[in-house]
Structure 1
Amino acid sequence: MTVVFNSTSQMMRQVIYALVVGISVAYAFFGWGVIVQILLAVVVAIVVEATFLKIRKHLIKPAIADGSAVLTAVLLAISIPSIAPWWIVVVGVSFAIIFGKQLYGGLGNNPFNPAMLGYAFLLISYPLPMTTWASEFVNFSQALDVIFNLNSNIVDALSGATRLDDVKTQLGLGKMMGELNPYSGAQAWVNAGFLLGGLYLLARRVIFWHIPSAFLLGMVVTAFLVSLGDGEYLPVQNHLMLGGTMLGAFFIATDPVSASTTPKGRLIYGFLIGMLIVIIRTFGGYPDGVAFAVLLMNIVVPLIDYYTQPKVFGK
């Protein structure tokens, strides 16, 4: 049965509902910092969006009510470390809303995924706080202390690298995959949570199957080909369950505005994103490459759509 959504706000709510499983798993492992960052990001997104709408002399309530700013805030908040300082969230969300959405004319006109644009800006500008993650469950008071700089001494006790970053670093130091346990930690479980949320979106017909399927296939094929070369590289299964793989496949790359819109184009778009992620993870300077891969392919979307348009009947 096909489910029809009559408004943008309905679709945005469905995506937010689907994120709940992955967010809940992240909370179970990392604690209250996840929730605090989301709430802070949502407030900042609404304030910044309302401010720019007022400057542009547009109606504020309909634009806020469509849920796009809230979804952008949630996606960015769960992509950054749960113990990142408050100003990281403020700067990142503001950049995403202003430069990723409003300066292009608002929802439907943005060529780039706003959340990933904000994330990439933060990662390039502030690499240290963007690569320092919680290494244990953080309770509510600890989350407030570390996020709002109330107790700076608590940061070192709670911080650590992501599992994907740690494995990549160890391989770079000459260790063999057999000496490591890439599945230890929370990332595999968080990815499983976002996978379940993605399957919910597919079942509700909120997203098309083409992009996530091609995305994951691109990762599998590229990781397999890379593994044929000399040296120790992350195996295929680890690429799938570490980093932001499932979040990227089902929630980021499927953005209806910045993604390809033709059936063939979606397959090409998704496959190339998956391929680029593995290449960036393997040979690049960043542990994960979802944001950069998506943004690079956003640039190519008009070209992909132009050459993959369905033939008009009679021509």
Structure 2
Amino acid sequence: MKNKLIVSLSPHVHSGDSVKRNMHGVLIALIPAFLTSLIYFGLGALIVTATSVAACLFFEWAINKFLLKNPEVSILDGSAVITGVLLAFNVPSNLPIWIIIIGALFAIGVGKMSFGGLGNNPFNPALIGRVFLLLSFPVQMTTWPTVGQITSYTDAATSATPLAIIKGLIQKTPGVSLDQLPDSLSLFIGDNAGSIGEISIVALLIGLAYMLYKRIISWHIPVSILVTIFAFSGIMHFYNPDIYVSPLYHLLTGGVMLGAVFMATDYSTSPMTKKGMLIYGICIGLLTVIIRMFGSYPEGVSFAILIMNAFTPLINMYCKPKRFGEVAKSK
């Protein structure tokens, strides 16, 4: 009797990978940045992060259960927790609780669940929530506590961020000088004002190294973003060093590292092919520098990523991998 050839759908060998495993891996990679935020912002960072995570979990559960009537809802895959953490990492540590709850509702309800939930959202939910809060509550979202106030929350003393100083140099604001910028070491370790999770470059690099080691992400998107920002801002600095700061400052300030590592690499909203990832990353880098230097906002990472999220389907359309066994058509 001859053996039967059994044909089935791929994959035939399971790699052991899963959405839950990757989400938990991202959460592990976020731990160094979270611990650093506790060191520099203390109680405020803890309150805002815990509130954001709890609100995201609740809203995802409530929307699934009461609006979508989905009996198989699961909030344990880690995606809602990541949205909550990343939303918190993109806001000041003195943000009032009621504002972060509104941001969580918008991130989950509009940015994620309105499109069908995990894997269907075209835009990064945490960035959707962050930009919504920035446009709705611009004063609260741009009031930055000075680092070192461990037990302070809403009454914390505030200061200007390095990006605000850089924008002041470009706009030739009286009283703003290059001497007001923190040194590179302070920017690298996180001793400067800013959003909760963006201040420490070394903590974010540790997270990047972990995700690359675990193959949760590939190098194409973060490296292409960082190289493009360094090159473009370097050209502008060479053109006029009096108002355009060193490209190193653009890499060490604001949400560049947080966005490049943890948000631009989101599976649902980034291209599938390596070529597409490089195009995507280069465009994000260019848009970030353009907005920072010529736009009205000091920061441009969030807007740049969301803009390129919209172009991801188009990139996927024109950067398709070659099909296995496909024969090229003769002209």
Question: TM-score, normalising length from structure 1?
Answer: 0.89
Letter in 1 for 2:103: G
1:50, 1:60 within 8 Å by CA — same for their partners in 2?
no
In the alignment, what sits opposite 2:214? 204
Mapped to 1, the partners of 2:24 and 2:294 lie a distance apart of 37
Mapped to 1, the partners of 2:303 and 2:275 lie a distance apart of 22
Change (3 A) 1:34 1:210: same
1:108-257 counterparts in 2 under 5 A?
108-140=119-151, 142-143=152-153, 146=154, 154-155=155-156, 158-172=157-171, 173=173, 178-183=178-183, 187-189=187-189, 190-230=200-240, 232-257=243-268
RMSD: 2.0
* Residue number among 74, 98, 101 corresponding to 1:90 in the alignment: 101
2:169, 2:243 within 8 Å by CA — same for their partners in 1?
no
Q: Per-residue CA shift, 1:204-234, capped at 9, x if unaligned? A: 1000111011111111121122224345112
Mapped to 2, the partners of 1:177 and 1:277 lie a distance apart of 22
Letter in 1 for 2:133: L
Shift of 1:87: 1.6
Deviates more, 1:73-82 or 1:302-311: 302-311
1:167, 1:180 within 8 Å by CA — same for their partners in 2?
no
In the alignment, what sits opposite 1:59? 71
Change (3 A) 1:72 1:177: same
2:201, 2:252 within 8 Å by CA — same for their partners in 1?
yes
Change (3 A) 1:226 1:83: same
In the alignment, what sits opposite 1:259? 270
Q: Tell me whether 1:8 sits opposite 2:8 in the alignment.
A: no
2:40, 2:150 within 8 Å by CA — same for their partners in 1?
no
SS in structure 1 of the partner of residue 266 of structure 2: coil
Percent identity for Structure 1 against Structure 2: 39
Q: Per-residue CA shift, 1:42-90, capped at 9, x if unaligned? A: 110111111110110113552x011111100000101100011112211
Aligned length: 300
Mapped to 2, the partners of 1:174 and 1:266 lie a distance apart of 41
Q: Which runs of 5+ in 1 are unaligned?
A: 147-153
Larger Rg: 2
Letter in 2 for 1:167: I
In the alignment, what sits opposite 2:83? 72
Deviates more, 1:207-216 or 1:175-184: 175-184
Deviates more, 1:128-137 or 1:235-244: 128-137
Mapped to 2, the partners of 1:187 and 1:262 lie a distance apart of 33
Change (3 A) 1:133 1:177: closer
Letter in 2 for 1:91: I
Question: TM-score, normalising length from structure 2?
Answer: 0.85
1:72, 1:115 within 8 Å by CA — same for their partners in 2?
yes
Shift of 1:179: 3.3
Shift of 1:314: 1.8
1:262, 1:309 within 8 Å by CA — same for their partners in 2?
yes
Mapped to 1, the partners of 2:25 and 2:260 lie a distance apart of 16
